[in-house]
Structure 1
Amino acid sequence: MASERAISAVEEEIDYEGLGGNVPLHINMIAGSLAGISEHAVMFPVDVIRTRMQVLSATPAATYTGVAQAFSRISSVEGARALWRGVASVILGAGPAHALYFGTYEAVKETTGGNREGHQFASTAIAGASATIVSDAFMNPFDVIKQRMQMHGSAYRTLAQTASTVYKQEGLRAFYVSYPTTLTMTVPFTAVQFSVYEWAKKVLNPSESYSPMTHVIAGGFSGAVAAAITNPLDVAKTLLQTRGSSTDARIRSASGMVEAFKIINQREGLKGFARGLSPRVLTFMPSNALCWLSYEGFKFFLVERERSL
C-alpha cells in the first residue's frame, strides 16, 4: 500500500511538470495573470527608481547616486505615495498581459517540443520570444502611462488623466513609439530568461517535482542575468517612453531606437547605457523569483483543485 502511494505521488509530480500536455491552457493563463499582478505590485517602488535613474535629462533634484539614496530622497521630499504613483496602470495591464504571456509560452513550448526530456533550449527560447511579442503588444501603452506618472515632477496623477492627455497632445503613436525597442529588448530578455530558468530548474531539481525553493532560485538567477544583458535597450526604451515630458528638444523629437542610442552615446558614452543597472537587476531578481514562485504555485494549486472536483 505504501509503495502504491509513493508511485501515485511520483506520477502526480510528473503530471504537474508536464506543462503543455497535462495542464490546461486556461490554468496557465490564470496562474500567469495572478503571478504578473503579484510581481509588479510588490516591486513597483524599485521600478519607480529605475525609471527616474534612466531619464537622461533629469534635473539635479531627480539625479540619484544609488538606490538607497533615491528611496530616501523620494520618500522624504515627495512622500511615500510617490513611490507608488502609476501602480494602477501596471495592475490593470499586468493581469491580462501575463495571462497572454504564459498562455502563449506554454502553448508554443508544447508545439515545438519543449516538454521533451533534456534541455530544450531552442524550444524555450522560441516560446519565450513568441510570448513577449504577444504580451508586449497589449502592455506597451500601460507601460508608457506608468513611466509618465513615475517621472520626477510629473503632473499626471491618474491613469485616465495620463492616457487622455498623452493621446490629445501626442496622438496614438506615443503609446507605441517604443514598441519596436521594447521588442528588441524583451525578445532576447525573455529568450535568455526562459532558457536559463528551465536549465537551472532542471539542474537544481532533476526529479522535476513541485519545489518552491527551486522556482525562487532559478527565477531570481534567470531574471538577474537577463536584466543585466538587456539594460542598454531598457535605457533607450525609457528615453522614448518619456520623451513627451522632456524639456530637451532633441529627446522630444527622438523617433526610434537608433536615434535614442545616438543621443545616449553622444551625451554620456558607454556609461550612459548602464544607467539604472543596479535597480533594474534589483527589480528583476526578486520580481522574477516571485513571478515564477507565484506562477508555479498558482498553477499547482489550480491543477490540484481541478483534480479534486
Structure 2
Amino acid sequence: MSQKDTLLHLFAGGCGGTVGAIVTCPLEVIKTRLQSSGLALRPVFQVQLGTLSGTGVIRPSQVAPGMFQVLRSILEKEGPRSLFRGLGPNLVGVAPSRAIYFAAYSKSREKFNAIFVPNSGPVHMCSAGFAAFVTNSLMNPVWMVKTRMQLERRVRGVKQMNALQCAKNVYQTEGIRGFYRGLTASYAGISETMICFLIYETLKKNLADCKLESASGRSEKVASDFLGLMLAAAFAKGCASCIAYPHEVIRTRLREEGSKYKYFFQTARLVFIEEGYSAFYRGLSAQLIRQIPNTAIVLSTYELIVHLLGSQTK
C-alpha cells in the first residue's frame, strides 16, 4: 500500500467516524447511563408459588428502567443539552480513532494476506483484531473522559464540566493510570470488532460476486451498491454487538468515578452476584439502535470516500 493510499484510508475513516458520532450521540449517552451502577432501579414484587402449604412467597426484585424512561428523565432533570454530553471528546477522538483503525486495518490486511489465504476469514479477523488493539491502546484516555462526562448528572441550569475540566479532575484524583481505566474491557471487546468485520467482509465479498454475475456488466459503483454495504454493515454490527455486549457494561463500570469496580473479572463477578446475568445486557436496545446505523454510516461513508477519491487518483 502506497503512502497516498494510507492517507486516503486515514481521511475516509476519519470522515466516516465523525458523521456517525454526531448523528448517534444522544443514544450513546442513554446507553452509558443504562450501563452504569448509578441507574435508579425500580422495585417490583413477584409472587412465587413453591411452598409446602401452597401459599405464595413474595420476593422483592429490581427492574432497570427502559430506554425511553431514561430519555425522559434526562430531558426533565438535566435538559436536552445533556443528550450531547461527551460529544466534544467524541469528536476530538472519533476522527483520529477511526482514521487509525481503518489505516491499521488496511495495512495489516496486506501483511496477513501474505500469511493466510488472501482475503479469507482469518485475514479479516486478524486484521480487525490488530487494528482494534492499536486504536484502543492509543485512544482510551479520550474515551475515558467521554464516559465520565456522560455519567455526570447535574440538575438543569447547573454548569457541567467540560472535557478539559473532566480530564484535569481525572488526573488529580487518579493520576495517569486513571485515563486507562476500562482498557482491559476494551481489549476484551476486540472480539466484537473481529466478529463484525468477519461478517461484513464476507457479505461484502458476496455482494461483489453477485454484481459480477449480474447481466448488466457495469463496473462503476451506484447508489444500490452503497445501500447494500450499509445493510451488510448494520447486520454485521448487530450480530457482533449481541454476542460481545457484556464487555461494554464492564467497561462503563470500570470508568465510574470512585467506584468499587477495580479489575475486569472482579467487576464481572460483582455485577453477576449483585444484579444478576441480565445486568450484562442493560442498554443493549439503545446500543443496537445507536450502533447499527452508526456502523452503517461509518463503513458506507468510508467506502464512498475511498471509491470517489481512489478513482480520481488512478
Q: TM exceeds 0.5?
A: yes
Structure 1 residue 138: Cα displacement: 2.0
Which of 237, 248, 265 matches 1:223? 237
Normalised by the size of structure 2, how large is the TM-score? Answer: 0.82
Give the C-alpha shift of residue 119 in structure 1: 5.8
Counterpart in the other structure of 1:79: 79
Match of 2:165 among 161, 168, 171: 161
Q: CA deviation at 1:106?
A: 0.5
**1:120-141 deviation line (CA, Å, top 9, x unaligned):** 1000000000100111112211
Report the Cα distance in structure 2 between the residues aligned to 1:201 and 1:72, rounded to whole angstroms: 39
Over 3 Å counting, the alpha-carbon distance change for 1:162 and 1:114 in structure 2 is farther
Figure out how many residues of one structure are paired with residues of the other and give that number. Answer: 279
Note the aligned Cα RMSD (angstroms). Answer: 2.4
- The answer to which of 253-262 and 198-207 deviates more is 198-207
Is it true that 1:39 corresponds to 2:46 in the alignment?
no
Equivalent residue for 2:36, pick from 51, 55, 66 = 55
Are 1:107 and 2:102 an aligned pair?
A: no
* Unmatched tracts of structure 2, length 5 or more: 43-62, 213-219
Query: Higher Cα Rg: structure 1 or 2?
Result: 2
**Structure with greater proportional helix content:** 1
Equivalent runs, 1:60-209 vs 2, <5 Å: 65-113=65-113, 120-153=120-153, 156-185=160-189, 187-206=190-209, 207=211
CA distance in 1, matches of 2:200, 2:299: 9
Q: 1-side partners of 2:247 and 2:307: how far apart? A: 35
Aligned counterpart, 1:266: 273
Q: CA deviation at 1:114?
A: 8.3
Q: CA–CA distance in 2 between the matches of 1:152 and 1:279?
A: 19
Measured after TM superposition, the shift of residue 109 of structure 1 is 0.8
Rounded Cα–Cα distance in structure 1 between residues aligned with 2:34 and 2:273: 18
Provide the rounded CA distance (Å) in 2 between the counterparts of 1:105 and 1:118.
14
How far apart in 1 are the matches of 2:303 and 2:207?
A: 15
- TM-score normalised according to structure 1 size: 0.84
Once the two structures are aligned, what percentage of the paired residues are identical? 26
Report how far residue 156 of structure 1 moved: 4.4
Residues 1:24 and 2:31 aligned together: no
Aligned pair in 2 of structure 1 residues 254, 278: CA closer, same or farther (>3 Å)? same
Check the 8 A contact 1:105/1:130 in 2, yes or no. yes
